[in-house]
Structure 1
């Protein structure tokens, strides 16, 4: 399977980067064709430009993000590695969705009916590998994990409803011991070998 593994963390020695490396190694060992995208290392600019926003529904110009559009359209699976900051994805990853999952790429907007027609029909799997500084009960019970709902129901529901969604999170990361982190990396490896 063609898999794009996307990392959204500014520090190459972060736990998110370790999760990303573990996932990529397991995916390649399982025979998948893997392309890595490190949004920070590639210098991705997450903010929509005025010109992009002005033509968003008329004739969105993807030339500034063409390599990322090509990788997305090539992908049969996405593996997203990132931390949750303030119960949401980093601005870098949100900007990726804003600029790359655009009209004509990820969806077509029906201006008369307001409906969205999905265009990422080749995307079969999306896996999220993430961390929270908060304990499970705060992220899941109190906050109801808004980023997971947005990814699963909003983005995938609109752009790739056929894609299977997998979500692996390490909670209470701020107090995670080395053994707890190692167990999480082992879970990531097992999940990616089964993708």
Structure 2
């Protein structure tokens, strides 16, 4: 399987970078091909351009400025996202990746008759998110309703693909966890990713 592993964190020595490294090693140990896309180090600009927004409902979306990333998404069999949750949401650079790359003619098509969107990412069979939150589990799930999971599963994954293996693995209360708990989480990631 060819996995596009997308890392969204500005710090090279972040816990998210450790999670991405662990996932990459585990996937490669199982014989998978990993295309690591580090959004910050690869210089991804999250800002939607005038041409992109202007062509959003046209017959042909202008993806010329993001064609390198579009090609990498189209070449993948699976997508694995690694990111922290800030303010119960995606980092801005990851949101921009969705806005610019998960676009008409790439991730979905507009249904001209009814306004619905039709999934187009038939190549993606696996859609996983490896994430962390600064808040405790109960705040994320009970108080906030786990908004990132809902957006990923019901929004992006469901609208862009069909029959995906969706999974979200989160470390909660990140701001207060011990080093031992971080290590246990990395081992959990290693074990779960090794089953792919």
Normalising by structure 1, report the TM-score. Answer: 0.98
User: Residue by residue, what CA displacement relative to the aligned partner does 1:120-156 show, whole Å, maximum 9, x if unpaired?
Assistant: 0011001110000000000111001111101101111
CA RMSD, aligned part only? Answer: 0.7
Q: Displacement of 1:63 after TM fit? A: 1.2
Q: Displacement of 1:116 after TM fit? A: 1.1
Aligned residues: 195
Q: Displacement of 1:52 after TM fit? A: 1.1
1:87: which partner in 2?
Answer: 88
Q: Displacement of 1:112 after TM fit? A: 2.1
Whole-angstrom CA distance in 2 between matches of 1:55 and 1:62: 9
Matched, 1:174 2:184: no
**Match runs of 1:113-128 below 5 Å:** 113-128=114-129
Mapped contact 1:121–1:162 kept (Cα < 8 A): no
Secondary structure at 2:35's aligned position in 1? Answer: strand
Whole-angstrom CA distance in 2 between matches of 1:116 and 1:165: 20
Secondary structure at 1:147's aligned position in 2? Answer: helix
Whole-angstrom CA distance in 2 between matches of 1:18 and 1:24: 10
**Match runs of 1:20-59 below 5 Å:** 20-58=20-58, 59=60
User: Which residues of structure 1 form unaligned runs of 5+?
Assistant: none
Normalising by structure 2, report the TM-score. Answer: 0.98
